């Protein structure tokens, strides 16, 4: 059975793995991509906070 918490943890671990790969140069990105990555990270952070808030409200 899948639980919402398990999916959130998997997404967070996947995002961390991508960030580490970019940091160590495994995945090459150009300079313009850094703003997009920061923006996407902020959106992910806000959606996780909203999801946790909804879970705590239930």
Whole-structure pTM value: 0.42
Q: What pLDDT, on the 0 to 100 scale, is given for residue 31?
A: 66
What lies within 8 Å, CB to CB, of 41 at 6+ separation is 15
Yes or no: say if 6 and 55 are a contact pair by the CB < 8 Å rule. Answer: no
Q: Say how far apart CA 58 and CA 44 lie, in whole Å.
A: 21
CA-based radius of gyration for the chain: 14
Domain assignments of the chain as residue spans, ordered by start: 4-57
Q: What pLDDT, on the 0 to 100 scale, is given for residue 47?
A: 81
Mean pLDDT in order along the chain per 10 residues (58 residues): 67 82 70 73 80 72
Q: What pLDDT, on the 0 to 100 scale, is given for residue 30?
A: 66
């Amino acid at each position: 059975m899948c639980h919402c918490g398990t999916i959130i943890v998997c997404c967070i671990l996947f995002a961390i793995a991508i960030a580490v790969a970019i940091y160590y140069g495994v995945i090459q990105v150009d300079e313009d991509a850094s703003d997009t990555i920061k923006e996407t990270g902020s959106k992910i952070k806000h959606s996780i906070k909203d999801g946790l808030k909804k879970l705590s409200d239930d």
